[in-house]
Each structure stands twice: as C-alpha cells, then as structure tokens.
Amino acid sequence: MAWWNSCFDWAELLAEGVLAPLRRGRSVAYRPPAWDERDRPGAIEVPVTASLLIVEGVGAGRRELADLIDGIVWVQADLDVTHRRDAARITSGETDEAA
C-alpha cells in the first residue's frame, strides 16, 4: 500500500481501496495510484470469502483504521535488521532512499 507513497499517508488508500469494500461484502482488486504511476504489476486482491486479512507494515494499525480492523499485533525488529532489509529493498529497486 505504501510503496512509493508517504510512509504514513496511506491509511485512506487502505481504508477505501481494501478494508471498506471487504466490510461491505465485496471482493477487492485494488491498485494504489503509485502502482499505476510507476507501472508496478499486479493488484492487492482479496476474495470476499477470506476469513482473515493480515495487513503488514509500519502504520498498519493506524487510529483512522480502527473501525475497519479487528485486531493489531505489534512486531518489532532490531535496528540493524531493519537497516539491512531496507538496504536490500533499495538494492533490488523495490524502493529508493527517498521513498
């Protein structure tokens, strides 16, 4: 969701593009705007029959999503691990240092 978007400015994308449609009983095939802008393949797809949806990432448990989620699990890693993962994502071209 946050790929090539502000780290903390994507709650509305998640809410309107994925969570709210699921709550209304609809399947989801959502492409965030940045995916179209940068020709990223695929979509976030969730069938209406899904009994569990896990949203992973920094900010996934944001307050503005509280009415659309049922639970939050906090997972934390050491800074050296997160720096190593970020460096790998930059090297692979998935993101850059500015993103």
The per-residue pLDDT for range 68-86, each reduced to its tens digit, is: 999 999 888 999 999 999 9
The answer to whether residue 25 is domain-embedded is yes
Whole-prediction pTM value? 0.75
Instruction: Tell me what percent of the residues of the chain surpass a pLDDT of 70.
Output: 99
pLDDT at 99: 62
The answer to whether residue 55 is domain-embedded is yes
pLDDT at 61: 87
Q: What is the extent of the structural domain holding 31?
A: 11-92
Pairwise CA distance, residues 21 & 14, whole Å: 10
Asked whether residue 42 carries a pLDDT value surpassing 70, the answer given is yes
Q: Enter the tokens of residue 10.
A: 């994507």
The answer for residues whose C-beta is within 8 angstroms of residue 42's C-beta and 6 or more apart is 31, 35
pLDDT at 26: 97
